[in-house]
Each structure stands twice: as structure tokens, then as C-alpha cells.
């Protein structure tokens, strides 16, 4: 195996990358290799799909298969080799269907169908050993000796950004929002990568296209979430347990949470959110379920302790699963793209989860005193008080905004984001999104003129809210986003964050502090270029960065 797609990749060797008996995420070499092969297979689908779509013969089902397949290869999503073997076989069938559609459409227009090469011609070997031999030829470093590490790094930047895009787009599609233009762009970009591009300028330009595509996708996802569940409203969320049977829901998928809430209605079971599911409480249609009683625990990397302690079953709805300990392996369930060998996978019917909850003790008593945190400051909630915010800035009550978002993780370097938030001056406002917020969201930041100093915009999936707010403030102040009194600190961990980073770069937003470490797939040459062209910054000393942001230096 070789994998360097996430922030926690092994950095002990000469070049970053996990290549040992297991990845740092817990991925086995078999799973890692099958994921590489699945990426290869969907590139093959995209080669035909992009051409078919140009001829008016787009296959949206195939596009959704591509989104789902790519999502399964994100960090901490699916670790089950069998699932990948199934997907690989399905991929061949999808590719054949798309190829036929393309060839028929071409012939119908009097064109000679192109004879494609590369991933388009791939077929799975009949057994696992054969597939692993195939995978050895198509890893993310394929061609390294010929094209060099910079080109490999840029291809990885495009690919990993696309993985994030696909994950976000999948979240939107499960809520029924589809955009063939998004599918077309995903197919085009994957088809581009299938041709093993070697021009660094072209690769960087495509990486920014991935970023622009991600903006469209985030807008689509925002519309899907708010269209289905209403616009988030500021909501106090209980963080202490309530007596009674209990189910914990983690991950990002609001539709799965809604389905579970409906299936548990009237059972007496209380449902708690975990990790990135916390912002669900802000949505009116979800909050309407009285048995959605609160949030339990913190960010994803605490799950082995928190899940073991939780007195009920756990449903994992999207990324961020880590190896389930034996103590709770029988009561954790996966759904959607998620999977772990030996963990029961469910599709829409959550009766086994409910059965487990009924068989388990739940919380014996309600913890007192009750504690709570406030969520739900998405774009509508924040923009509804735009006038007050603008006035506060003009009057000097608010001197600066810090947008501290992204993923949390266990590495000490992430203390930067905690220190940045806690050291931010009292006349600043902190906007946050993603699970990085758990580092400081139990701190009482107070308020400025009725505006809370900490505004939780939502999941990482809600980046569109953050961008909308920034663009609106820039408009109000008649300036460029880069001229706003705004500092962006992005804590990245996996490929959704790569997509968000590319979106910010594509928007021309400069001086983003990215950390705790820069992506392992970016070579020193690439880092130098991105720093030079986009003003990307690493994370350093929080006090210095705050001082710089406030213009003291």
C-alpha cells in the first residue's frame, strides 16, 4: 500500500506516506490497494461518461455511482475489503453500460466512437489476489519515476479535492438534489486525470476548477439541507445525558438521522448526536423531534473512549469511523458509504439499532446541572443581523473576525487552533465550522452588543454558509474578501477539507493559515508555488498570528 491522502499520514520516512502493515488511519494494505483500484475504475467510467454527456447521453445513475464510490475511499470511511470488491465488480457493469450509451449516441450522430485506452479498458480480475495485482499498477504514485514527484503531487491534489467534492455531492444527492452540470464536471475532471496529465500548469488550473466545482456542490448541499430540514436557527443543545434508553448518531448524514428519528418515534428512546452531527440540532425539522435530546461527546478522534462509555448503540452515518474497540463492536452500526469489517451495515432500516437500544440500559439518570452549547448560526441566522454586525465593526466594537474551521484530530499541533480561539481578543468574533470547534465550543466567549462572540456555522458540509457570509460582509463594506478584517485558519484532516481549501484558493482568498501540517502529497516545490501564488500560510505561533491579523506587526 501507499497512501498519503490525509494529514495523519506517516511522516517518519524520507517522504510522507503510509506504506507499512497498516495505514495510520487503520486501513490495511488490501483495503488501501482496492481503494486505489476503485478510483482507477471510476476514472474509466468517467472517460466514457464525459463523452456520452457531450452527446446528450449522460447517465446520472452512473454519476451517482461515481460519487458514492469516491466517497468510500475518503479517510476513515470504509475499511471493508469485501465492499470494495463488490463495488469494483459493479463498476465494470456501470462502465459497460455507459460505454454502450456513448457508442450508440456517437453512431446515432454519424460519428465513429473513440477507442479509449487506460482505465476505460479495465476489467476486474475474478478474485481478490488478481485485483491486488491490478492495484499495484494504478496507485497514486504510478509513473513517479517518469513524471516526478511534483506532477504526482498535483495529480493527487486534484484527485483528493475531487474525492471531497464527490462526498459533498453524495450528501446532496441522497436528499434528492441533483445537478447534471456537477456530474458533467466531475466526469470531465476524472477523465482528465485518467489521461495521466503531466503539465503542472494545467494540473494546477484543474485543481482550481475542482475548487470552483466544490463551490457549486456546497451551494447544492446547502440547498438540499435547508430545503429539506429548514434554515438552521440558533439553538441551545443539551450536552448532558437524560435518563433513558439511548442511541448515538455520528457522521454527517442528516437524512440518516432524520430516518432514525422517525423510526424511533414513540419508542421512548432518546437520540443523541456526536461529532459532526451536532449542528443537526439547529434545523427546525430535526429539532421538532422531541427525542433528539442532545449531543454526547466531542470530535471524531475521541470516539473510542466515548462510544465505549455510551450506554446504547451507535450509528455511524458517514466519514470519521475509526477502529471500533471490542467493547462496542457489537453495538456500532454503519450505513451509507461507511464500513468496518465485522461491523453490521444497515440500509435505511434501523431496527437492529433500535433493538440494541432497547436491550441496553441507557442512562440511569439525568445529569445535573444541565449544560448546553449553542449551534445554528448558519448563513440566514448570521445575515439576518448583518446590519448589527456591520455597525459593530464600523463603531469599533468588533475589530476582527476569525474563521477557525475544519477537522479536529489528535495531534498536538492542533492546539494552535485552540490557542487561536481562546487568545482572540475580546473585541473579535469567532466563526467556526467542522468538528474542530470541539476544541473550544464549551468555552464561554461572551457576546458583543448581543452578538455572540462564538458563532457555530455548522458542519464542514456547511462551508457555503461561511463563504456566503464572508462575501456578503465584503459587499457591505465595499471591499474584497481579502480586505475584510478576517483571518481564516483551516484545520485539515482529510479530503473534504482539501476540496474546501481548493474552493478558497479558487475564490482568490489569500493568507489562509493551513495546519497543523501541510498535505504530505505537496512537495516542497509545490508548497513554494502555492505560497507564492495564493499566499497560503502555515500555522505558527497563535499570539504572533493574532498580532499580525490585528495589524500590530
Partner 1 sequence: MTDTVARQTLSGSHPVTMTTADGEVLEIRCGSDQTVVDAAAAAGFSLPSLCHQGTCGSCRATVTSGDYQLGSHSPEALPPDRGRDVLLCRTVPCGPITVDLPYDHGRILMGGIPTHTATIADLRVVARETVRLDLQLDPDEDGTLGSQFDAGQFAQLEIPGRDVKRSYSLCNTGNWEGRLEFLIRLRAGGDFSSYLRDEARVGDRLVVHGPQGAFGLHETGLNPRWFVAGGTGLGPLLSMVRRMAEWQDPQPARLLLGVNEESDVLGRAELDEIRMLLPDFTYDISVWRPTSAWSGHVGTPLDLLRRDLPSTPVLPDLYVCGPPALIDSVIEIATTHGITEDHIFYERYLPN
Judged by CB, which is closer to partner 1: 37, or 207? 37
Residue 252 marked as a ligand binder: yes
> Residue with C-alpha cell 500560510?
537
Residue 187 marked as a ligand binder: no
Beta carbon of residue 368, minimum distance to partner 1 (angstroms, whole number): 21
d(CA 246, CA 274): 12
254 - beta bridge partners? none
Judged by CB, which is closer to partner 1: 82, or 525? 82
443 burial type by CB count under 10 A (0-12 exposed, 13-18 middle, 19+ buried): middle
383 burial type by CB count under 10 A (0-12 exposed, 13-18 middle, 19+ buried): middle
The one-character DSSP state at 444 is: -
Beta carbon of residue 366, minimum distance to partner 1 (angstroms, whole number): 17
Judged by CB, which is closer to partner 1: 91, or 435? 91
Beta carbon of residue 30, minimum distance to partner 1 (angstroms, whole number): 8
DSSP per-residue codes, 507-524: TT----EEESS--TTS-H
Q: Give the rounded distance of the alpha carbon of 494 from its chain centre.
A: 7
Residue 494 marked as a ligand binder: yes
CA dihedral for 515, 518, 524, 527, sign (positive or negative): negative
d(CA 87, CA 95): 12
**Cα-based angle 58, 90, 67 (whole degrees, multiple of 5):** 55
Judged by CB, which is closer to partner 1: 96, or 327? 327
Q: Cis ω on the peptide bond leading into residue 516 (within 30° of 0)?
A: yes
Beta carbon of residue 330, minimum distance to partner 1 (angstroms, whole number): 4
Beta carbon of residue 313, minimum distance to partner 1 (angstroms, whole number): 9
Beta carbon of residue 129, minimum distance to partner 1 (angstroms, whole number): 8
Judged by CB, which is closer to partner 1: 112, or 364? 364
Sheet arrangement for strand 486-491: 454-458, 428-433, 400-406, 486-491, 513-515, 537-538
The answer to whether 481 touches 507, Cβ cutoff 8 Å, is yes
Judged by CB, which is closer to partner 1: 116, or 360? 360
Cβ within 8 Å of residue 345, ≥6 positions away: 80, 83, 333, 334, 335, 338, 339
Judged by CB, which is closer to partner 1: 110, or 126? 126
Which of 317, 313, 294, 334 has its CA nearest to residue 461? 317
DSSP per-residue codes, 391-424: HHHHTTS--EEEEEEE---SSGGGHHHHHHHHHS
Beta carbon of residue 505, minimum distance to partner 1 (angstroms, whole number): 37
d(CA 291, CA 406): 29
Beta carbon of residue 264, minimum distance to partner 1 (angstroms, whole number): 15
Residue 18 marked as a ligand binder: yes
> Residue with C-alpha cell 470516539?
303
Judged by CB, which is closer to partner 1: 28, or 263? 28
Cell triple for 527: 508548497
The answer to whether 348 touches 223, Cβ cutoff 8 Å, is no
Beta carbon of residue 181, minimum distance to partner 1 (angstroms, whole number): 34
Which of 239, 248, 434, 409 has its CA nearest to residue 322? 409
Residue 166 marked as a ligand binder: no
Beta carbon of residue 250, minimum distance to partner 1 (angstroms, whole number): 20
DSSP per-residue codes, 129-148: HHHHHHHTTSSTTTTHHHHH
Which residues bind to partner 1, rule: CB under 8 A? 21-22, 28, 80-82, 85-86, 89, 126-128, 131, 311, 326, 329-331, 341-342, 344-345, 352, 355-356, 358-361
Beta carbon of residue 341, minimum distance to partner 1 (angstroms, whole number): 5
Residue 479 marked as a ligand binder: no
Judged by CB, which is closer to partner 1: 227, or 361? 361
Beta carbon of residue 144, minimum distance to partner 1 (angstroms, whole number): 26
Judged by CB, which is closer to partner 1: 30, or 397? 30
The answer to whether 384 touches 535, Cβ cutoff 8 Å, is no
Helix (H, G, I), strand (E, B) or coil at 247: strand
Judged by CB, which is closer to partner 1: 25, or 159? 25
Q: Give the rounded distance of the alpha carbon of 436 from its chain centre.
A: 12
Residue 533 marked as a ligand binder: no
d(CA 297, CA 246): 14
Judged by CB, which is closer to partner 1: 314, or 392? 314
Q: Which residues are annotated as a binding site for [4Fe-4S] cluster?
A: 3, 6, 18, 25
Binding site: residue ranges?
3, 6, 18, 25, 252, 276, 320, 407, 435, 460, 494, 496
Q: Please give the annotated binding residues for hybrid [4Fe-2O-2S] cluster, written as ranges.
A: 252, 276, 320, 407, 435, 460, 494, 496
Amino acid at each position: 500500500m501507499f497512501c498519503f491522502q490525509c494529514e495523519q499520514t506517516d511522516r517518519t520516512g524520507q517522504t510522507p506516506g503510509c506504506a507499512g502493515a497498516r495505514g495510520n488511519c487503520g486501513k490495511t494494505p488490501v483495503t488501501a490497494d482496492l481503494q486505489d483500484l476503485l478510483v482507477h475504475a471510476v476514472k474509466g467510467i468517467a472517460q466514457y461518461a464525459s463523452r456520452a454527456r457531450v452527446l446528450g447521453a449522460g447517465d446520472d445513475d452512473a454519476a451517482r455511482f461515481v460519487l458514492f464510490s469516491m466517497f468510500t475511499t475518503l479517510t476513515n470511511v470504509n475499511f471493508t475489503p469485501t465492499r470494495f470488491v463488490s463495488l469494483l465488480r459493479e463498476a465494470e457493469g456501470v462502465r459497460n453500460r455507459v460505454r454502450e450509451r456513448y457508442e450508440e449516441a456517437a453512431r446515432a450522430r454519424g460519428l465513429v466512437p473513440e477507442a479509449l485506452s487506460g482505465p476505460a479498458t479495465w476489467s476486474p480480475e475474478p478474485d481478490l489476489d488478481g485485483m491486488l495485482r491490478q492495484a499495484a499498477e494504478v496507485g497514486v504514485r504510478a509513473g513517479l519515476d517518469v513524471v516526478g514527484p511534483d506532477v504526482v503531487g498535483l495529480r493527487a491534489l486534484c484527485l483528493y479535492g475531487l474525492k471531497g467534492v464527490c462526498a459533498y455531492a453524495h450528501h446532496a444527492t441522497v436528499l434528492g438534489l441533483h445537478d447534471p452540470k456537477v456530474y458533467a464536471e466531475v466526469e470531465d475532471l476524472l477523465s482528465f486525470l485518467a489521461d495521466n496529465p503531466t503539465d503542472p500548469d494545467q494540473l494546477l488550473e484543474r485543481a482550481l476548477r475542482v475548487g470552483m466545482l466544490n463551490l457549486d456542490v456546497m451551494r447544492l448541499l446547502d440547498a438540499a439541507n435547508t430545503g429539506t430540514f429548514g434554515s438552521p436557527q440558533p439553538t441551545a443543545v443539551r450536552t448532558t445525558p437524560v435518563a433513558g434508553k439511548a442511541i448515538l448518531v455520528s457522521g454527517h448524514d442528516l437524512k440518516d438521522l432524520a430516518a432514525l428519528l422517525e423510526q424511533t418515534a414513540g419508542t421512548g428512546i432518546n437520540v443523541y448526536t456526536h461529532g459532526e452531527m451536532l449542528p443537526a440540532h439547529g434545523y427546525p425539522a430535526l429539532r421538532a423531534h422531541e427525542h433528539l435530546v442532545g449531543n454526547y461527546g466531542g470530535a471524531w478522534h475521541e470516539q473510542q473512549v466515548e462510544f465505549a462509555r455510551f450506554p446504547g448503540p451507535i450509528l455511524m452515518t458517514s466519514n470519521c469511523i475509526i477502529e471500533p474497540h471490542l467493547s462496542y463492536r457489537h453495538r456500532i452500526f454503519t450505513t451509507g458509504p461507511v464500513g468496518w469489517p465485522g461491523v453490521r451495515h444497515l440500509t435505511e432500516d434501523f431496527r437492529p439499532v433500535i433493538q440494541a437500544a432497547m436491550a441496553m440500559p441507557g442512562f440511569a439518570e439525568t445529569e445535573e446541572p444541565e449544560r448546553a452549547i449553542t449551534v445554528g448560526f448558519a448563513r440566514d441566522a448570521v445575515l439576518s443581523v448583518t446590519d448589527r454586525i456591520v455597525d459593530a465593526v464600523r463603531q469599533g466594537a468588533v475589530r476582527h473576525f476569525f474563521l477557525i474551521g475544519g477537522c479536529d484530530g489528535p495531534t498536538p499541533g492542533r492546539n494552535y487552533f485552540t490557542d487561536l480561539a481562546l487568545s482572540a481578543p475580546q473585541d473579535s468574533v469567532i466563526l467556526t465550522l467542522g468538528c474542530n470547534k470541539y476544541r473550544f465550543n464549551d468555552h464561554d466567549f461572551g457576546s458583543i452588543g448581543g452578538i455572540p462572540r462564538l458563532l457555530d456555522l455548522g458542519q464542514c458540509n456547511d462551508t457555503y454558509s461561511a463563504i456566503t457570509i464572508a462575501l456578503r460582509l465584503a459587499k457591505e463594506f465595499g471591499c474584497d474578501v481579502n480586505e475584510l478584517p478576517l483571518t481564516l485558519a483551516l484545520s485539515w484532516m482529510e479530503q473534504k477539507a482539501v476540496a474546501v481549501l481548493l474552493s478558497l484558493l479558487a475564490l482568490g482568498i489569500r493568507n489562509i493559515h493551513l495546519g497543523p501540517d501541510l498535505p504530505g502529497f505537496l512537495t516542497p516545490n509545490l508548497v513554494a508555488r502555492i505560497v507564492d501564488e495564493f499566499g497560503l500560510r502555515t500555522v505558527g505561533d497563535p499570539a504572533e498570528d493574532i498580532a499580525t491579523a490585528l495589524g500590530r506587526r
